[in-house]
Amino acid sequence: MDCLLISGYGFGKTRLGLAECLSSKMDDSAAREDACREYQSSLEDLTFNSKPHINMLTILAEENINFAKDIVEIIEAQISKVFMNIEYFHTEMFACNFLA
């Protein structure tokens, strides 16, 4: 929850004090960490094409739409990790076939 603080008071549809605004930001941070940790764990469990698992990841992302940017970063990192592993595997296979 974003709020504008002027002399310790928030302005918007509701007036928030400094402590309430900071508490809200800490709650958002904890929620973001939980959502990201859960999404990343589930994504790492996806090791083959599984429609039910992909559907579950989609639902999880929809439930945490506020953290979409973070979820996209998790997906991008996982794709990079997988491609690095594939590239390494192909390099090793090429070296083994070349030396044989």
Which amino acid is it at 44? E
pLDDT, one tens digit per residue, over 26-65 is 678 999 999 999 999 999 999 999 999 999 999 999 999 9
> Can you give the residue ranges of every domain in the chain?
27-97
Q: Are 36 and 70 in contact (CB under 8 A)?
A: yes
27-97 has which CATH code? 1.25.40.90
pLDDT, one tens digit per residue, over 15-30 is 445 455 556 666 789 9
pTM for the whole thing?
0.63
